[in-house]
């Protein structure tokens, strides 16, 4: 591997280019017309305009990317996250074109891409999944039987579902018949499909995920967890490692579960296995696997000292994992705040525009991953992530103090950002105490 085409934009393109440079690899940046002059295009060894602003005609255009790789002599493609990162057809097309796809095989992406099948596969391996009916239930009696097995409260969920319609929480057996009828009618009206699943309703859970690395020779390690419970409408805002709710026993069991899945699908490269954790019972349940580098990967890097993007490149080049599980140590505590171009006072509306002033914090134990600088323009076409502020400290308290101080010093003019929300979270007693859950932001900080 000599030359890596970075098929992405924004902070992750900058991050990947930096990792390539550290390994002595040449880089090719690609950009849409809306990103002309962007930081990633200037850091790379060369940059090619691949299309107009619309992502479908630029960053999502496999032909444009593959033609650019061929024309520039690139022999590998790093997809970053988002865009084509979890597109199995694109991964296969790269391989067909004689390029190294920096990520897992197309088969592994496919195996984990179908969420229902991924959960069935996990369950078959003995990895815990949310208890419930395997198939849609036919009537109230059947629903009663499942609910008795898994225990109340249960969630009735439309098989065709989405957006909360056809969903009912049932807290006691006496409420089930009425709720079943209502949910079925709602599902039929909304989706033309009244089939319902019954599963255990998990309240006040945490989102905890395990980072893994695997080579093509069957060796795999887990690098501990990240807690991503601070979310707004399923969008992660802040992540940390280790999780305040994870004990060494949970960590070991969760990590072992993740590695069992990795071994079964012969996964290679970096990946993340996501779980929900019920702190009331210390039980965890597999949700899905993300077959790419994640936005929040730096918190794991800060506590393990492992450069995950460099590891991705080395593993894709066919190298062996350079360390074993026993060599993985977690040192201190790390937090990441995602600073988005969104206006928290206007329902988190995206705020594209020109950055009049960009003055990120600097200091010991701080890292800011960004593609933004003073004068940069945030185009309206892509996601709103401006920067990730990552703080590391010897323990959680030290990391929190460092992050609070960093956020206080971070000055951005020109567009509204989510900085004020992060300052509020960092100062909130519930968060400081470590006792929050995935609905906490909506409950506590409003919409």
Partner 1 sequence: MDLSYDDVQQILKIIDASSVEELHLEIGELKLVVRKRGSRAEVTETSADPPRAAATREPVAAAPSGPSRQRRAAEGEFELKAPMVGTFYRAPRPGAPPFVEVGSEVGPDDVVCIIEVMKLMNSITIGRRARIVDILVDNAQLVEFGQPIMIVAPA
Question: What residues line the site for partner 1 (CB under 8 A)?
Answer: 29, 31, 33, 36-37, 41-42, 44-52, 58, 62-64, 66-68, 70-73, 97
For partner 1, the closer CB: 35 or 215: 35
**Phi, psi dihedrals of residue 56, rounded to the nearest 5°:** -60, -25
For partner 1, the closer CB: 34 or 146: 34
Using DSSP, state whether 387 is helix, strand or coil: strand
Sign of CA dihedral 310, 313, 316, 319: negative
Closest CB 1 distance from partner 1, rounded Å:
18
Closest CB 35 distance from partner 1, rounded Å:
10
Nearest to 265 by CA among 322, 214, 225: 214
Closest CB 8 distance from partner 1, rounded Å:
16
| Cis previous bond, 321, omega within 30 | no
Please give the DSSP secondary-structure letter assigned to residue 344: G
For partner 1, the closer CB: 32 or 312: 32
For partner 1, the closer CB: 60 or 67: 67
- Residue tagged active-site, from 121, 195, 226, 292: 292
Closest CB 293 distance from partner 1, rounded Å:
24
Q: How far apart are CA 229 and CA 441, in angstroms?
A: 9
**Strand 3-6 with 26-32, pairing:** parallel
Three-point CA angle 322, 87, 284, nearest 5°? 65
119 has catalytic annotation: no
Q: Are 307 and 19 in contact (CB under 8 A)?
A: yes
For partner 1, the closer CB: 62 or 159: 62
Closest CB 352 distance from partner 1, rounded Å:
16
Q: How far apart are CA 292 and CA 300, in angstroms?
A: 14
Please give the DSSP secondary-structure letter assigned to residue 125: T
CA distances from 261 to 208, 210, 257, 328, 329 (A): 16, 12, 7, 19, 22
The catalytic residue positions are 292
């Amino acid at each position: 591997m000599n030359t890596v085409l970075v098929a992405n934009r924004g902070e992750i393109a900058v991050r990947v280019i930096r990792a390539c440079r550290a390994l002595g690899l040449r880089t090719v940046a690609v950009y849409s017309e809306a990103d002309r002059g962007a930081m990633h295009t200037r850091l790379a060894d060369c940059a090619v305009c691949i299309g107009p602003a619309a992502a479908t005609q630029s960053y999502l255009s496999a032909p444009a990317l593959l033609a650019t790789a061929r024309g520039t002599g690139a022999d590998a493609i790093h997809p970053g996250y988002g865009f084509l990162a979890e597109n199995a057809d694109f991964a296969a097309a790269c391989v067909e074109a004689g390029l190294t796809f920096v990520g897992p095989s197309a088969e592994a992406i496919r195996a984990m891409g179908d969420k229902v099948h991924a959960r069935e596969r996990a369950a078959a391996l003995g990895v815990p999944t949310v208890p419930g009916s395997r198939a849609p239930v036919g009537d109230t009696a059947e629903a009663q039987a499942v609910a008795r097995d898994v225990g109340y409260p249960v969630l009735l969920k439309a098989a065709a579902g989405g957006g909360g319609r056809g969903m009912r929480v049932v807290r006691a057996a006496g409420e089930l018949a009425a709720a079943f009828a209502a949910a079925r009618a709602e599902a039929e009206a909304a989706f033309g499909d009244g089939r319902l699943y019954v599963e255990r309703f998990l309240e006040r859970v945490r989102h905890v995920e395990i980072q893994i690395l695997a080579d093509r020779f069957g060796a795999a390690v887990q690098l501990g967890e990240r807690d991503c419970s601070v979310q707004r409408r399923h969008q992660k805002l802040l992540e940390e490692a280790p999780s305040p709710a994870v004990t060494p026993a949970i960590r070991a069991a969760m990590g072992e579960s993740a590695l069992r899945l990795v071994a079964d699908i012969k996964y290679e490269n970096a990946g993340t296995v996501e779980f929900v954790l019920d702190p009331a019972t210390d039980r965890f349940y597999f949700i899905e696997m993300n077959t790419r580098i994640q936005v929040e990967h730096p918190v794991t890097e800060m506590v393990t000292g492992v450069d995950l993007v460099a590891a991705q490149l080395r593993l894709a080049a066919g190298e062996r994992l350079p360390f074993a599980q026993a060599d993985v140590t977690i040192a201190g505590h790390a937090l990441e705040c995602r600073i988005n171009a969104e206006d928290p006072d206007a329902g988190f509306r995206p705020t594209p525009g020109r950055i009049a002033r960009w003055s990120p914090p600097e200091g010991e134990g701080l890292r800011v991953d960004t593609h933004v600088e003073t004068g940069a323009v945030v185009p309206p076409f892509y996601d709103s992530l401006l920067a990730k502020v990552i703080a590391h400290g010897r323990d959680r308290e030290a990391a929190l103090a460092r992050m609070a101080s960093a956020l206080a010093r971070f000055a951005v003019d020109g567009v509204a950002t989510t900085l004020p929300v992060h300052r509020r979270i960092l100062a909130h007693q519930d968060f400081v105490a470590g006792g929050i859950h995935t609905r906490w932001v909506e409950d506590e900080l409003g919409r």
